[in-house]
Amino acid sequence: MDARRNLRPLGRTGLLVSPVGLGCWQFSKRKNMIGRYWPLLADGNIHNIVSLALEGGINWFDTAEIYGGGESERNLSVALQSAGIEPGQVIIATKWWPLFRFASNIKNSFPERIKALAPFPVDLYQIHQPAGFSDIRSEMHAMRQLYDNQLIKSIGVSNFSAAQMEKAWKFLDSKGIPLASNQVRYNLLDRRIETDGTLETAKQLGITIIAYSPLAQGLLTGKFHDNPELLQNIGYRRYSPLFRDTQLLRSLPVIMLLKQLADKYNVTPSQISLNWLIRFNGTTVTAIPGATKEQHVTDNAGAMTFRLSDEDMSALDKVSSPFK
pLDDT tens digits, one per residue of 102-136? 999 999 999 999 999 999 999 999 999 999 999 99
Q: Is 67 a catalytic residue?
A: yes
Least confident of 18-27, 34-43, 291-300: 34-43
Binned at pLDDT 50, 70 and 90, residue 222 comes out as: confident
The pLDDT of 223-230, averaged and rounded, is 70
Give me the pLDDT at residue 5, please: 62
Provide the CB-side half-sphere exposure for 3 (13 A, CA): 24
Confidence of residue 247 (pLDDT cuts 50, 70, 90): confident
57 pLDDT more than 60: yes
| Residue 229 banded pLDDT, cuts 50, 70, 90 | low
Average pLDDT, the chain: 94
Phi-psi region of 65 (alpha: psi -120 to 50; beta: other; left: phi over 0): alpha
Q: How far is 125 from 310, CA to CA, in rounded Å?
A: 34
In tens, the pLDDT along 259-305 reads 999 999 999 999 999 999 999 999 999 999 999 999 999 999 999 99
pLDDT band of 60, cuts 50, 70, 90: very high
Tell me if 96 sits within 8 A of 126, measured CB to CB: yes
Range of lowest pLDDT (18-22, 39-43, 101-105)? 39-43
Indicate the pLDDT class of residue 241, thresholds 50, 70 and 90: confident
Confidence of residue 36 (pLDDT cuts 50, 70, 90): confident
Range in 1-15, 57-71, 107-121, 257-271 with the lowest mean pLDDT: 1-15
Question: What percent of the chain has a predicted confidence (pLDDT) above 70?
Answer: 94
Residues 26-50 have a mean pLDDT of 92
- Can you give the pLDDT at residue 2? 55
Separation in Å, CA 290 to CA 107, 211, 216, 295: 28, 11, 11, 11
pLDDT score of 223: 78
pLDDT at site 272: 98
Q: How far apart are CA 80 and CA 74, in angstroms?
A: 10
E strands, 77-146, where?
A: 91-96, 122-127
Question: Could you tell me if 48 and 83 are in contact, meaning their C-beta atoms sit under 8 angstroms apart?
Answer: no
Give the integer Cα–Cα distance in Å for 2 and 22: 18
- How does DSSP classify residue 7? -
Which tens digits make up the pLDDT trace of 144-170? Answer: 999 999 999 999 999 999 999 999 999
- Which position among 37, 67, 212, 265 bears the catalytic label? 67
* CATH T-level fold of 3-217+268-308: TIM Barrel (3.20.20)
Q: Is the pLDDT of residue 320 over 80?
A: yes
67: alpha, beta or left, given left = phi > 0 and alpha = psi -120 to 50?
beta
Q: How large is the average pLDDT for residues 61-89? A: 98
Q: Residue 234: what pLDDT?
A: 62
pLDDT at 233 over 70: no
Q: What is the pLDDT of residue 235?
A: 61
Tell me what the mean pLDDT of segment 28-38 comes to: 88
- Looking at the predicted structure, is the pLDDT value of residue 3 above 60? no
